[in-house]
């Protein structure tokens, strides 16, 4: 049986006890893991939690602090994060390469040159 939402309503206002968040994250993690097992090229994770936003476009949303919401996101596993992904090693290697490429092309704040061509560590910035 597949579901897409869980609703819990309390008959009176309650305080969420210490540790509730972590325990709930754990339960949601179970669901995400199961989903990733069934969908090896996708990833799913709890992306955020807090008061329920009441959308009011184009303005900023209001929040209903009496409703606690957890948002779960899902997308293609582009970086090989899903351990069941048959292309995991390849995707991880590509993601690593892209990260290194990005790092190499980052400009130094000191001299404005690419980090790979930066001489700041050899030659400290001159005082004005
Ligand atoms: Zn530099």
- Res 115: pLDDT: 78
For residue 128, report the distance from its CA to the centre of ligand 1, in Å.
Answer: 17
- Half-sphere exposure of residue 56: CA atoms within 13 angstroms, side-chain side: 9
In the chain, % helix, strand, coil (3-state, to 5) comes to 30, 25, 40
Give the residue among 93, 43, 39 at the shortest CA–CA distance from 72: 43
Question: Higher-confidence residue: 121 or 87?
Answer: 87
What is the distance between the alpha carbons of residues 91 and 95, in angstroms, rounded to a whole number?
Answer: 6
For residue 87, report the distance from its CA to the centre of ligand 1, in Å.
Answer: 38
- Res 128: pLDDT: 55
For residue 125, report the distance from its CA to the centre of ligand 1, in Å.
Answer: 9
- Give the strand pairing for 59-76 and 42-56: antiparallel
Which of 45-49, 77-81, 85-89, 116-120 shows the lowest per-residue confidence on average (mean pLDDT)? 116-120
- Using one digit for the tens of pLDDT, what is the confidence trace for 7-66? 999 999 999 999 999 999 999 999 999 999 999 999 999 998 899 999 989 999 999 999
- Using one digit for the tens of pLDDT, what is the confidence trace for 87-115? 999 999 999 999 998 888 888 888 888 87
- Res 38: pLDDT: 97
For residue 105, report the distance from its CA to the centre of ligand 1, in Å.
Answer: 12
Question: Higher-confidence residue: 119 or 84?
Answer: 84
């Amino acid at each position: 049986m597949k579901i897409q939402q869980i609703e819990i309503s309390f008959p009176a206002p309650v305080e969420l006890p210490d540790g509730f968040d972590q325990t709930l994250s754990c339960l949601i993690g179970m669901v995400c893991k199961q989903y990733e097992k069934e969908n090896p090229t996708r990833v799913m994770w709890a992306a955020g939690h807090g008061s329920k936003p009441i959308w009011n476009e184009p303005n900023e949303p209001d929040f209903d602090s009496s409703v606690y919401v957890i948002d779960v996101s899902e997308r293609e596993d582009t970086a090989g994060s899903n351990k069941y992904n048959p292309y995991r090693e390849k995707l991880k290697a590509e993601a690593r390469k892209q990260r290194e490429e990005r790092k190499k092309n980052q400009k130094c704040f000191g001299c404005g040159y690419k980090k790979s061509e930066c001489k700041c560590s050899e030659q400290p910035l001159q005082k004005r």
